[in-house]
Every structure is written in structure tokens, then in C-alpha cells.
Amino acid sequence: MTSHPALAPGRTAVITGGASGIGFATASLLLDAGLKVCIADLDDESLDHARNALADDASRRDAVLAVPTDVSRLESVASLRDAVLDRFGEVALLMNNAGTGGGGKSFENFEGWQRVLGVNLLGAVHGLQTFVPGMIEQGTPCAVVNTGSKQGITNPPGDTAYNVSKAAVRSLTENLAAELRNLEGCQVTAHLLVPGFTYTGMIRRFLPEKPDAAWLPEQVAERLLEAMGRGDFYVLCPDNEVTPEVDRKRIAWAAGDLVENRPALSRWHPDWKAAFEAFMADEEA
């Protein structure tokens, strides 16, 4: 497997939401590859447990740093940066992975909207504003990964605040990639991670046992590092139920709402149910 040049032994990765799920799985793989890792999370107890699990081998203890961080607060992310630089001296990978859900519908639960946007969107913005200028100035190969969601692309009805936050993360990351590639001499790349159905802590709260359809966080982390090695920007992950082909068709249908002037979210509109099913069944579509 070809590795992204930022992911070399001895380099440093910073992962928010790193105490569990995809963040923790990615941290573990990077440690195995010889990198130093800083995990950041909001819950002190979970963070301590994750740090101990990652540094279970005495040879790894100096390579693991855990920093309590509230990504919704710029000053907290700045403190994270300072702690990483004090300990490791540089940052090769920034993974803005912290996320939350349960925001609510368009006209409900303003507090939920503030929380979801504060973590999912502003958490990523705070990470970029705080870390990326220094990563550019290092003049070394670096990478930024923002964790998005298929809900930010196909926009299923339900948790509107979550969908909005992840749609914004997609737009943010696409613009970041364009900005970085237009900086002369810049060696920082951007990548958008789009997991499929993954059995993380957010899901475990509702489903105590892993559904057969779900991927494990380790599978998503493996797919991410493989895709980064290929230089992919979009890291669109399948799961045990949804294939890449199905994903591509669903995304194409969602874009078609605008192109064809269909009703908003026509995939879930009763008048368009048959048309959507026919589109999905058409092997040439």
C-alpha cells in the first residue's frame, strides 16, 4: 500500500474525537505505522481510557498524547495546538473528526442547532484556522482530513441540523483543497472522509450490538489511509449493505433534483418513489 508522504514514521498526527470510533481506530493504525499521535476529546474519562489503550506497550507511551479539548471553542483548540507543538514540535496530519448529532428539524431545538454546528462545523473551522497556517509554514508534506457524512450529500430527512453541518463541512473541505493547491510550494493536501454506516459510539447509544450492515471503525480507518496514499480527495466508504455503486447512484439522484427541477429531496417524495426505484434498478444509469 502506498502511503501519503505525511504519514511517515516519526511524524505527528492530531485527531479530534480521538477517544473512540473512527478517530481512535485511525490513531491506532498510525501508531502501528510509527507515527506519534495526539488524541483530543471532550470527555476526560474516555480520553484517559483511550490513551491507556493506545499506550498499552511501554515503547509507545512517549508517542501518545491526550489533550482534553472542546472543539467548539477556538481557545480550546489553540491550547491543543500549543500542547502538541510543545510535546512533538510539528504536525503532519490534522484530522478534524469530532462530531455529534441530535440537532433537530429546521424550526425546532435551537440549542441543539448551536451544539451540532459548534462541534461539527465550527470545530473543523477552528482546527483549520489554528493548525493549517503552521503546517503550511513547515514546508513539509502534511495532510488535513475532515470527517463528513453521506447525510451532508444526499440530505435524508430527519436530523436537519446534522445534515446542514456535514454539508457545510463538505463545502469547507472542497474550498480548502482548492486554496491549498493554489499556494505556491504548499505541501499540505486536504481530504474529505465520508463514512458509510459505521458502528461508532453515536450508534452504540441506540444499538447495543453491531448491526450486520455496519462497518467497524477500523475498516473506515484502513480505507482512509489507503485512499490518502492514492491521493484521493473524496474518501467515500461503503458498508456491508451499501455498495459503492449504490452510493454513486444515490448521489447522482440527489444532484438531479437541482438539474431536473424536481421537488426537494424527491427520493423521499411519494410521487417520485417509483421513478427513484426505477433509476436505482437501471444498470446503465
**Residues with catalytic annotation?**
162, 166
Which string of DSSP letters, residue by residue, matches 158-206?
A: S-HHHHHHHHHHHHHHHHHHHHHHTSTT--EEEEEEE--SB--HHHHTT
- Compute the C-alpha angle 63/60/68, nearest 5°: 50
Distance separating alpha carbons of residues 147 and 194, to the nearest angstrom:
6
Count Cβ atoms below 10 Å from residue 198 Cβ, excluding itself: 21
Q: How buried is 182 (Cβ within 10 angstroms: 0-12 exposed, 13-18 middle, 19+ buried)?
A: exposed
Count Cβ atoms below 10 Å from residue 13 Cβ, excluding itself: 27
The CA-to-CA distance between both ends of the chain, in Å, stands at 32
In this structure, the dihedral spanned by the alpha carbons of residues 50, 51, 57 and 61, taken in order and rounded to 10 degrees, is: 170
Single out the residue of 282, 283, 285, 7 nearest to residue 143, CA to CA: 7
Distance separating alpha carbons of residues 201 and 217, to the nearest angstrom:
10
In one-letter notation, the amino acid at residue 213 is: A
Q: Which cell goes with 189?
A: 493536501
